[in-house]
Amino acid sequence: MSILVGRDTRLCVSGITGREGTFHALNNQRYGTNVVSGVTPGKGGQSVEGVPVFDTFHEAVAETDANTAMIFVPARFAADSIIEAADAGVPTIVAITEGIPAHDELRVFTHLKRSTGVRLIGPNCPGVLSPGKANVGIIPADFFKEGNVGVVSRSGTLTYQIGNELAQAGFGNSSIVGIGGDPVPGSSFIDVLELFEADADTELMVMSGEIGGSAEEEAAEFIADNVSKPVVGYIAGFTAPPGKTMGHAGAIVSGSKGTAQAKAEALEAVGVRVGRTPTEVSEIVVEILEG
């Protein structure tokens, strides 16, 4: 098993005719993901290497039975595309697009939570990979193999770093989920930890956080009450000065809130071991799974 994407994924790519959209849609297809369709308004009837393109999500879903959407359109169109996919009845949406205005994200988030049962991963995220089954997004799948460690992270490349260290230590992954570095992610650590807790193939979870916001602290509370499997943590940004946005729109320490120290302490207080470097994270995982 795995979470969010797998063998039953039927993917429709929004923005499939764009340069990046085409590249990654085909890359995902080569990995074995079932890419059933794409959406680009005005290009309905065309195809991208045999993948049919539709003008609307509603058409794409009706014709190809898509159950997962990947959003690859530019930031100013992305919120609209996410809501369109939800309106067409797609239950799982993965938004890769970076730079969506925070107020748009907030409206999308509130609408999806309130009026639909749709699960949104991202935006501004690398996507979801279930090794050996399906890849939806831009995670370089070659570095990961099937296994029993679930990874959830706010950052893309840091996820690869940690996943790679785990692979070198001999461990594979059930699923790797990038939730994104924006102020209002569609899914939180809690949402994904809950899925891993229920996933039979996941024995341990690695949660990689960073400065800014309070998602890690909220996850710590959730873990204390709801997670029975071991969780290993990592927090990036111990040396980040307050008031400076560190690359991600969400990564900013304001006042005494959102520091790496506070987050690590909140996790450690509920029994989560927190590695101080990616290498230490993999050492702790080895210790727990082999010890």
Partner 1 sequence: MDLLEYQGKQLLARHGIPVPAGRPAESVDEAVTAADAIGYPCVVKAQVQIGGRGKLGGIKVAASRAEAQEHAGAILGMDIRGLRVHEVWVEEASEIEAEYYASIVFDRSARAPLIMLSTKGGMDIEQVAEEDPAAIASLHVDPLLGYQQFQGRRLAFEAGVDGDLVRPLTGLLEKLYAAFVGEDAMLIEVNPLIVTPERELRALDAKVTLDGDAMFRHPDNAALRNPSAEDPQEQMAKERGLTYVKLDGDIGILGNGAGLVMSTLDVVAQAGGRPANFLDAGGGSKADAIVAAVEVILSDEKVTGVLFNIFGGITRCDEVAKGLIEAFGQVQPQVPFVVRLDGTNDEEGRRLLAEAALSNLYVEATMLGAAERIVELAAATPSEAR
Options 237, 259, 266, 272; binder of partner 1; rule CB under 8 A: 237
Query: Binding to partner 1 by residue 15, rule CB under 8 A?
Result: no
Query: Measured between alpha carbons, how far is 126 from 153 in angstroms, rounded to an integer?
Result: 10
Closer to partner 1 by Cβ: residue 24 or 133 = 24
Residues 97-156 touching partner 1, rule: CB under 8 A, are 99-104, 106-107, 109-111, 114, 126, 138-140, 143, 153-156
Per-position DSSP letters for 179-213, written without gaps between them: --SSSS-SS-HHHHHHHHHH-TT--EEEEEEESSS
Closer of 38 and 137 to partner 1 (Cβ): 137
Q: How many whole angstroms separate alpha carbon 30 and alpha carbon 141?
A: 11
Span near partner 1 by CB under 8 A; candidates 41-49, 62-70, 180-188, 220-228: 180-188
Q: If we measure between CA atoms, which residue out of 23, 62, 24 comes closest to residue 44?
A: 62
Pairing outcome for strands 51-54 and 68-71: unpaired
Closest separation in Å from C-beta 139 to partner 1: 7
Choose between 37 and 161: whose C-beta lies nearer to partner 1: 161
Q: Which residues of 45-70 are buried (b: 16+ CB within 10 A; e: fewer)?
A: eeebeebbbbeebebbbeebebbbbb
Residue showing tokens 């309070």: 214
Q: How far is the CB of 75 from partner 1 (least distance, A)?
A: 7
Window 18-77: residues binding partner 1 (CB under 8 A): 75-76
Compute CA 121 distance to the chain's CA centroid, rounded to the nearest angstrom: 5
Number of residues that bind partner 1 (CB under 8 A): 59
Q: Contact at 8 Å (CB) between 249 and 255?
A: no
Cβ closest to partner 1, residue 52 vs residue 150: 150
Question: Footprint of partner 1 on this chain (CB under 8 A)?
Answer: 75-76, 99-104, 106-107, 109-111, 114, 126, 138-140, 143, 153-161, 164, 181, 183-184, 208, 210-211, 213-214, 218, 234, 236-241, 244-251, 255, 260, 276-279
